[in-house]
Amino acid sequence: MPYCTECGGTLKWDTKLRQYSCQSCGLTFTEAQLSKALDTLYTNDDDEDEKKRQRNRDYLDWWTSSKKKK
């Protein structure tokens, strides 16, 4: 059962709207919106990108310093 990304309330599938609606705050989510919102909640892309950038910087530092030594 999906939960509301805003308040954590229970989402109920509304067959008329063809959307999930929150039982607590009344927000509605399409399936696409919900899966996108859940992706944003559970994967921290910024953090992963920052790690990659840091690795690239480290590698570049190592590469330039090893070049200088030769």
Site for Zn ion in 41-70 (CB under 5 A): none
Q: Is 2 in the site for Zn ion (CB under 5 A)?
A: no
Q: How many residues bind Zn ion (CB under 5 A)?
A: 8
Which is closer to Zn ion, CB of 22 or CB of 34? Answer: 22
Q: Does 22 bind Zn ion (CB under 5 A)?
A: yes
Q: Which residues of 41-70 are buried (b: 16+ CB within 10 A; e: fewer)?
A: eeeeeeeeeeeeeeeeeeeeeeeeeeeeee
Q: Kindly report the number of other CB atoms within 10 A of residue 4's CB atom.
A: 21
Taking CB under 5 A as the criterion, the residue among 17, 25, 41, 60 binding Zn ion is 25
